[in-house]
């Protein structure tokens, strides 16, 4: 029976390892959706192989052209370019990412197994915890190699120590040379070795009960540390690259790093008090910290000094910068595996009393990761660039028209411009190249005078900006600049005096592509809307010839123009919104389609669109309320109108109106009076007010509040005389029912 259970347990263990491999593949098989550094990395790798040397000055920007540049990831760039070039573009990068992550977890598996033996659930739980913490950092950049090297160093030191074989340590100098030339995290290799030496000395002193000279093992590790430091100088930049990690983190560079998301710290409140499992990295970081503390407490008298120091330093790093959270499990995994294994071995002679906890952690992790990969990330799978995330269309336009000039681009677009052989204003090499003062000036250049100084200082004549950036909206109203092209992510502006012919042919004046509070502003005048129609069609013509099926926004904007024109144009709006959705599924576009169908009185398909968009677009609730009211489903009308009122920051009067009328039709007159009072306060149109006052008066009439009923009937009649006839008919009905007293009170 026990053998059968062991076979089942081993089968489950193997299945969990296979599933982890599937998760690694899924984590790698994702479209490029936000990080642009890979683009300039590929271009740099190409530059290095073309010139057969590393760049010593910046070849990619016009703002810092010729300035010294220490390209500390040049080795990764060459590797990435080779995989990209010879293994089918993005497919090659997918293979590279899979290989690095798989190798990292293979080394971690060997490391934990060396420490924990055949304790399957301990191995599985630690691997899954590590994966969950690091998964958000699994995108193709050189830091992935850093994870592999950290895991390898811990494995080599552990293997050497446990087997008593120095020969394993001979691999470290070679690995250090590779690490130094791939990523600046190579400094961690020296740190790991140094702390191993220091920990050995401290533990020896603890055993002796006094301060003693370092034992031979500590001298060995100390010598390895010096050797690793020396081999770090084997790189094309010499001492400059070795000391770069320290310079990068010091002085004015800290100011620039504060505004780069991955260099920001983990919010302490979120770390300490929030238990929500997403983002995975923060939740599992807390779990790993808790497990590390438990591992220390249960093995307090036998802990190794180095393990405690590794955990303390790694926790500081993880909380200091978000990009370092993935390092915590790599540094703490030895402590967790060693202390838990030693505790079990010492106290229970191999019996796994902590097994239920490890089983629960593993199963819970599998469930969370299945949800993460199947629900949360299901739209990101594939190779290449995700639609709508990069300035594909605007850059294609620049290249198609052979435009030359100084482009002001946002930080996030620099890498993509470099990839397309366009000299940049700034890119992701901040602050390794661009000085902090320059970064500061670009960050605050929002007012008219500051922007003017920036334009003059750097002779800017083109602007590539995100469509939701405040500068986009300011330039749209500036006669010195004119938008000429846009895509789903960006807008391209040209200086009118610098490119007069292109502006004349492609200028966009009345079609505003800048995003304002998740919506777009169009002119009210019909003649301007017709010009906007022409501008949108011109953009669509360009994309149909140069970038078909990649850009959705021009279709949506033309659809919005037709939606605003209304009437006969509504039919033309529907296929445009449908085309936009076929390119890029977007809830706001889906809501626009629903509005067009609603105005065409196609309530069934409109309901379908609003139902799909209501999770992201609050306005969809209001339209669903109107549809339900039109179809005499008053319960549905009330439910959706209340849903809209609850979610909207400033609910529209019509929502209260629909809710009030729905309550009135269901004979819930108190509910009707409450909502209609609110609708009346918000309403601006006198005709709407007349109707509201009439129904409000009728509600109070049913509630036998005749004074208020008389007040609101009077207000309705004052606004619209037709309501006098309605009131007289109501009086006749009351008298015919024998309700003379009620009619008399109302007549007063």
- For the chain, domain boundaries: 2-30+70-376, 685-748
Cis peptide preceding 431, ω within 30 of 0? yes
Measured CA to CA, the distance from residue 618 to residue 620 in angstroms comes to 5
Measured CA to CA, the distance from residue 226 to residue 236 in angstroms comes to 20
* Burial environment of residue 425 by CB neighbours within 10 A (0 to 12, 13 to 18, 19 or more): buried
Maximum mean pLDDT: which of 33-42, 264-273, 413-422, 703-712: 413-422
Name the percent of the chain lying above pLDDT 70.
Answer: 92
pLDDT band at 15 (very low <50, low <70, confident <90, very high): very high
The predicted structure's pLDDT at residue 348? 59
Between the alpha carbon of residue 254 and those of residues 63, 148, 246, 247, 365, the distances in Å are 21, 27, 11, 10, 36
Ranking 230-234, 255-259, 536-540 by mean pLDDT, the lowest is 255-259
Q: Could you give the angle at which helices 120-134 and 327-348 cross, rounded to 10 degrees?
A: 160
pLDDT band at 505 (very low <50, low <70, confident <90, very high): very high
The predicted structure's pLDDT at residue 379? 73
Torsion of CA 558, 560, 562, 565, to 10 degrees: -140
As a whole number of Å, the end-to-end CA separation of the chain is 94
Instruction: Record the tokens describing residue 605, joined without a space.
Output: 């398909």
The predicted structure's pLDDT at residue 350? 47
Mean local confidence (pLDDT), 494-502: 97
Angle made by CA atoms 686, 692, 698, in degrees to the nearest 5: 140
Mean local confidence (pLDDT), 662-675: 95
Name the percent of the chain lying above pLDDT 90.
Answer: 68
Mean local confidence (pLDDT), 345-357: 67
Ranking 189-203, 249-263, 575-589, 625-639 by mean pLDDT, the lowest is 249-263
Measured CA to CA, the distance from residue 139 to residue 101 in angstroms comes to 10
Instruction: Record the tokens describing residue 411, joined without a space.
Output: 């930080």
Q: What's the DSSP call for residue 181?
A: T
The predicted structure's pLDDT at residue 106? 98
Q: What is the pLDDT of residues 273-297, one digit of tens each?
A: 777 777 888 999 999 999 999 999 8
pLDDT band at 6 (very low <50, low <70, confident <90, very high): confident
Q: What is the pLDDT of residues 63-108, one digit of tens each?
A: 999 999 999 999 999 999 999 999 999 999 999 999 999 999 999 9
**Contact predicate 465/513, CB 8 Å:** no
pTM for this one? 0.89
Measured CA to CA, the distance from residue 577 to residue 594 in angstroms comes to 9
Q: What is the pLDDT of residues 376-410, one digit of tens each?
A: 766 788 888 988 899 999 999 999 999 999 999 99
The predicted structure's pLDDT at residue 687? 58
**Contact predicate 658/692, CB 8 Å:** no
Mean local confidence (pLDDT), 358-364: 91
Measured CA to CA, the distance from residue 198 to residue 615 in angstroms comes to 55
Residue in this structure with the two tokens 């850059």, named with its chain if needed: 395
Measured CA to CA, the distance from residue 138 to residue 159 in angstroms comes to 27
Residue 251, pLDDT > 70, answer: no
Q: Could you give the angle at which helices 120-134 and 90-116 cross, rounded to 10 degrees?
A: 140
Non-local (6+) Cβ contacts of 517 within 8 A are none
Q: What is the pLDDT of residues 597-650, one digit of tens each?
A: 999 999 999 999 999 999 999 999 999 999 999 999 999 999 999 999 999 999
Maximum mean pLDDT: which of 91-105, 196-210, 431-445, 673-687: 91-105
The predicted structure's pLDDT at residue 279? 82
Topology of domain 685-748 in CATH is 1.25.40
Beta carbons within 10 angstroms of residue 520's beta carbon: 19
Q: What is the pLDDT of residues 140-155, one digit of tens each?
A: 999 999 999 999 999 9
Mean local confidence (pLDDT), 448-470: 92
pLDDT band at 536 (very low <50, low <70, confident <90, very high): very high
Ranking 157-161, 348-352, 372-376 by mean pLDDT, the lowest is 348-352
Residue 518, pLDDT > 80, answer: no
**Contact predicate 55/44, CB 8 Å:** yes
Cis peptide preceding 279, ω within 30 of 0? yes
pLDDT band at 7 (very low <50, low <70, confident <90, very high): confident
């Amino acid at each position: 029976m026990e053998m059968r259970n062991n076979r089942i347990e081993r089968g489950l263990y193997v299945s969990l390892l296979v599933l982890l491999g599937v998760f690694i593949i899924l984590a790698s098989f994702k479209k490029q959706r936000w990080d642009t550094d890979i683009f300039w990395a590929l271009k740099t790798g190409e530059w290095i192989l073309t010139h057969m040397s590393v760049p010593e000055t910046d070849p990619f920007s016009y703002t810092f052209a010729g300035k010294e540049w220490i390209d500390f990831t040049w080795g990764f760039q060459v590797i990435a370019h080779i995989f990209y070039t010879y293994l089918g573009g993005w497919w090659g990068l997918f293979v590279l990412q899979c290989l690095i992550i798989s190798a990292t977890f293979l080394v971690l598996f060997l490391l934990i197994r060396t420490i924990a033996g055949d304790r399957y659930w301990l191995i599985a739980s630690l691997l899954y915890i590590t994966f969950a913490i690091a998964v958000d950092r699994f995108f193709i950049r050189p830091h992935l190699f850093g994870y592999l090297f950290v895991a390898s160093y811990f494995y080599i030191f552990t293997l050497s120590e446990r087997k008593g074989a120095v020969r394993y340590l001979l691999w470290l100098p070679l690995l250090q040379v590779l690490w130094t030339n791939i990523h600046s995290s190579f400094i961690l290799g020296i740190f790991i070795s140094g702390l191993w030496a220091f920990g050995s000395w401290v533990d020896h002193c603890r055993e002796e009960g006094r301060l003693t000279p370092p034992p031979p093992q500590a001298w060995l590790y100390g010598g390895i540390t010096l050797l690793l430091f020396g081999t770090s100088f084997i790189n094309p930049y010499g001492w400059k690259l070795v000391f770069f990690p320290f310079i990068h983190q010091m002085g004015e560079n800290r100011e620039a790093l504060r505004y780069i998301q991955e260099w920001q710290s983990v919010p302490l409140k979120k770390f300490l008090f929030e238990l929500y499992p997403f983002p995975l990295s923060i939740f599992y970081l807390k779990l790993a910290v808790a497990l590390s503390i438990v591992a220390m407490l249960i093995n307090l008298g036998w802990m190794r000094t180095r393990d405690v120091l590794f955990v303390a330093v790694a926790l500081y790093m993880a909380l200091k910068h978000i990009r370092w959270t993935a390092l915590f499990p790599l540094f703490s995994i030895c402590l967790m595996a060693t202390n838990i294994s030693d505790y079990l071995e010492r106290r229970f002679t191999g019996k796994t009393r902590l097994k239920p906890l490890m089983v629960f952690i593993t199963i819970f992790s599998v469930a969370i990761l299945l949800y993460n990969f199947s629900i949360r990330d299901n739209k990101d799978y594939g190779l290449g660039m995700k639609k709508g995330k990069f300035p594909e269309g605007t850059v294609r336009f620049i290249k198609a028209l052979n435009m030359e000039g100084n482009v002001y681009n946002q930080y996030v677009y620099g890498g993509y411009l470099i990839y397309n052989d366009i000299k940049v204003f700034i890119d992701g090499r901040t602050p390794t190249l661009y000085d902090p003062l320059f970064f500061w000036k670009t960050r605050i250049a929002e007012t008219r005078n500051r922007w003017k100084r920036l334009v003059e200082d750097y002779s800017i004549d083109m602007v590539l900006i995100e469509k939701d950036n405040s500068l986009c909206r300011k330039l749209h109203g500036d006669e010195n600049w004119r938008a000429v092209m846009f895509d789903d992510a960006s807008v391209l502006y040209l200086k009118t005096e610098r490119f007069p012919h292109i502006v004349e042919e492609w200028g966009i004046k009345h079609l505003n592509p800048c995003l304002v509070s998740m919506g777009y502003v169009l002119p009210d005048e019909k003649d301007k809307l017709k010009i906007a129609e022409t501008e949108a069609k011109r953009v669509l013509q360009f994309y149909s010839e140069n970038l078909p099926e990649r850009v959705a926004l021009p279709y949506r904007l033309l659809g919005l123009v037709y939606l605003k024109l209304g009437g006969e144009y509504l039919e033309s709006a529907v296929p445009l919104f449908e085309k936009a959705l076929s390119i890029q599924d977007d809830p706001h576009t889906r809501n626009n389609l629903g509005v067009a169908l609603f105005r065409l009185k196609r309530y069934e398909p409109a309901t379908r669109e609003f139902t799909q968009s209501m999770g992201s677009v609050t306005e969809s609730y209001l339209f669903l309320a109107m549809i339900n009211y039109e179809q005499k489903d008053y319960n549905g009308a009330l439910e959706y109108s209340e849903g809209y009122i609850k979610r909207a920051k400033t609910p529209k009067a019509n929502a209260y109106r629909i809710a009030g009328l729905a309550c009135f039709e269901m004979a819930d007159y108190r509910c009707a009076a409450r909502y209609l009072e609110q609708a009346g306060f918000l309403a601006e149109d006198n005709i709407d007010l007349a109707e509201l006052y009439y129904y409000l008066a009728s509600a109070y009439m049913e509630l036998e509040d005749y004074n208020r009923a008389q007040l609101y009937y009077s207000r309705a009649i004052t606004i619209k005389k037709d309501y006098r006839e309605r009131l007289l008919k109501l009086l006749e009905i009351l008298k015919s029912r024998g309700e003379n007293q009620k009619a008399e009170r109302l007549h007063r």
